[in-house]
């Protein structure tokens, strides 16, 4: 079982406060986790590619293409103020 010093060390790293009862309970859980990690260390992983996640990495974005748009006139007409086909805004200095 993980001793209380290890549990206190992990709690300090996590910046959490734990009671004495929690130290005992967490010590048992920490021991189980360490045993499981030790079991995983015994597996032969030669020839197995590391994974970043469960899903294959593909670009889900569309290709970035410039397209002509015919709505410029409608956008300018909907603006509060325009001049010569551009938005007109107050001077800011």
Tokens 């200095």 correspond to: 93
C-alpha to C-alpha distance for 12 and 34, rounded to whole angstroms: 18
Q: Please give the helix or strand (H or E) that residue 78 lies within, else none.
A: helix 72-78
User: Is residue 60 one of the residues assigned to a domain?
Assistant: no
| Structural domain harbouring 24 | 4-41
The two three-digit tokens of residue 4, written as one number: 């209380």
CA 1 to chain centre: 33
User: Is residue 10 one of the residues assigned to a domain?
Assistant: yes
User: Is residue 93 one of the residues assigned to a domain?
Assistant: no
What lies within 8 Å, CB to CB, of 82 at 6+ separation is 76, 88
User: Is residue 28 one of the residues assigned to a domain?
Assistant: yes
Q: What is the model's pLDDT at position 64? A: 83
pLDDT tens series, the chain, 93 aa? 568 888 999 999 999 999 988 988 898 898 999 999 999 999 998 988 888 777 776 777 878 888 887 788 888 888 899 998 889 998 888
User: Is residue 79 one of the residues assigned to a domain?
Assistant: no
């Amino acid at each position: 079982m993980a001793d209380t010093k290890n549990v206190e060390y992990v709690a300090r790293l996590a910046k959490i406060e734990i009671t004495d009862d929690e130290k005992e309970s967490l010590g048992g859980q920490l021991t189980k986790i360490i045993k499981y990690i030790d079991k995983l260390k015994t597996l032969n992983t030669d020839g197995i590619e590391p994974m970043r996640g469960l899903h294959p990495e593909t670009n889900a974005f569309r290709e970035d293409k410039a397209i002509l748009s015919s709505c410029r006139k409608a956008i300018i007409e909907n603006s509060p103020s325009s001049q010569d086909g551009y938005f007109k805004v107050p001077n800011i200095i």
